[in-house]
Amino acid sequence: MALFIDPPQWPAHGTVFSHLISDESVDELHAFAEAVGLSRRAFDGDHYDVPAHRYPTVVALGAREVTAGELVRRLTDSGLRIRAAHRPSKVQRVLKSRFGRLFPVEALSSASVIRDDLLYRWAEPHRSYHDQTHLLAVLNTIDFLERHGESSGAYPRALRLAAWFHDAVYLVDGAAGEAEEASAQLAERTLSEFGLTDSEVEETARLVRLTTHHRPENDDEAGALFSDADLEVLGRAPALYERYRLGIMSEYGHLDAEIFTRGRAAVLRTLLEQDPLYNTRTGRDRWETQAKRNLAEELQR
């Protein structure tokens, strides 16, 4: 095991806390925390908060004592660290700001009603991966691909609106394509009532439906960009891909393990058969090789 803890020095709730991490995997961290009797409520994305009175016990049971600086370095080097801007408390503030940029000032009051409904949907308790952090990642990746010269098509705002709506309805027990269709219909109803042009509403809904299979036509530049933004997670470093994998497992945790494994394997095979997996030049250059490696290793497991 590779568990590390820094000294109790972080004040909160009338005491001081340590941070407990693993530089191997989140699974290992959760298993150790359970073994030493730490509540899951003490988990904060990449570490457990350990009150000072529990520190000696956690060390005695195997956590290595390190300085706060070394703990942060180990967590960062492992790829498991969650940046402050991506922690749940920060993500929602960033998303509210990002949504506000999509509409003129005079429309913000009305638009906030749509925004708050979508944020509520993205925070539903059954989501472990398809949550507000994923939404922000897709929005950031759209920006990244545009900065690298990928075309957003005739309706750049539709790409961002599609990101907000593409998993707004998330069903873990629905038929294939059911959630995507329901999300697209939600976009059509909501945005039509809000006063967007028919063309922009149609483009938003079209992009949402595209996430059913992530296979845009060869001349569909906006579809290529949006599909790659949604699949960017597959090409992340192994530790970050593992976080994604665990999130998916958690969302389907109510299923029998054999049923989940069979269904997940089918998804992995389908993704591996897509050649190329990414549709933009930037996506292929940046993520294709690592994504295929991640998918193949998970399938082999």
CATH homologous superfamily, domain 88-300? 3'5'-cyclic nucleotide phosphodiesterase, catalytic domain (1.10.1300.10)
Distance from C-alpha of 135 to C-alpha of 274, rounded to nearest angstrom: 24
Q: Tell which residue, 102, 110, 160, has the closest CA to residue 135.
A: 160
Per-residue pLDDT for 85 more than 60? no
pLDDT at 232: 97
Q: Tell which residue, 143, 138, 146, 178, has the closest CA to residue 162.
A: 138
Fill in the DSSP letter of residue 79.
Answer: T
Please list, in sequence order, all residues whose beta carbon lies within 8 angstroms of the beta carbon of residue 54, skipping any fewer than 6 positions away.
36, 37, 38
161 close to 85: Cβ distance less than 8 angstroms: no
Relative to beta strand 3-5, strand 64-65 is parallel
Which structure tokens are listed for 96?
């509210």
Per-residue pLDDT reduced to its tens digit, 253-296: 888 889 999 999 999 999 999 999 999 999 999 999 999 999 99
pLDDT at 89: 65
Q: How many alpha carbons lie under 13 Å from residue 52 in its C-beta half-sphere?
A: 10
Per-residue pLDDT reduced to its tens digit, 204-231: 999 999 999 999 999 999 999 999 999 9
pLDDT at 158: 97
180 close to 212: Cβ distance less than 8 angstroms: yes
Query: 3-state secondary structure string, 7-37?
Result: CCCEEECCEEEEEEEECCCHHHHHHHHHHCC
